[in-house]
Amino acid sequence: MRHCHRWCLFLASCLLMWGAESRSRLDAAEIGPTQGALVAVGGGGLDESILQKFLELAGGDEAEIVVIPTAGGAADYTEATGGTRMWRELGAKKVTLLHTYDRDEADTEEFVKPLTTATAVWFGGGRQWRLADSYLENRTHEALRDVLKRGGVIGGSSAGATIQGSYLARGDSQTNTIMMGDHEVGLGFLKNVAIDQHLLRRNRQFDMLEITHARPELLGIGIDENTAIVVKGDQFEVIGAGYVAIYDPEGRAIPEDERKRKPFYFLSPGDHFDLVERLPFRLAPANDKPALTQRNED
């Protein structure tokens, strides 16, 4: 019993030190945003926990939300068709539609003005390459970074999730079945990361392997429908109703001799993930201290 007690104390102290190191990385993030938060949804429905979490991060009733529906590819958008109504119905008092297919227009002070006071930005679904064509590396892109620097939140579903990564999965302008297409650069709010969506619903769980085999330095994240990751600093939590797949050919979570047989693994709601260490963990509900995630090896 004495030996067991000592071992438990040792394990607890290690977890506390690991937790302190993890918290310190929030102040100097390497992968995720140093300030603010990201919410990446795998498409399909939006679970109540996802909606409420985004609104909470956005500032609640006082949130200033900018909705960008450009990925959808419609000829034009209005307040009725651009996805703003959802957030108003949930209680947000100030919701603004922002859209253009003209990257020169997106590079003007007048266009980005709504972003200068926004506490949140939401990207709708569609094709992620349209977002890259309009907003990559111009004033809009810089204004989006500034939203995070002010402590705001950037979220999106489907294409709006994939665009948040640095590598643009399914970025081909001809078809969404090509994983490494003619657009390969995302907005990069998550560095060295590729994000896929509609994972299990569309039987896509093996598709990300093409990217991670070609670019093994990248972390692949596949998000199922009605499921999201909430990123703060270099950690994220899974919320919603489904699963998130992790593709990490150089990681430690799966032993090297098993990676061919197990090229990815799943996280479920409540699981957390360290983007630097590339390891999953859970928080003990009573005291929010990191705890080891137990996995069934059968």
Q: Where are the domains of the chain?
A: 1-28, 31-282
Please give the CATH number for the structural domain made up of 31-282.
3.40.50.880
For the whole model, what pTM was predicted?
0.87
Q: How far apart are the C-alpha atoms of 217 and 238, rounded to whole Å?
A: 23
Task: Encode the chain (298 residues) as per-residue pLDDT tens digits.
Answer: 444 444 344 334 444 444 444 444 445 789 999 999 999 999 998 999 999 999 999 999 899 999 999 999 999 998 888 889 999 999 999 999 999 999 999 999 999 999 999 999 999 999 999 999 999 999 999 999 999 999 999 999 999 999 999 999 999 999 999 999 999 999 999 999 999 999 999 999 999 999 999 999 999 999 999 999 999 999 999 999 999 999 998 877 888 788 888 899 999 999 999 999 999 998 876 555 555 444 433 3
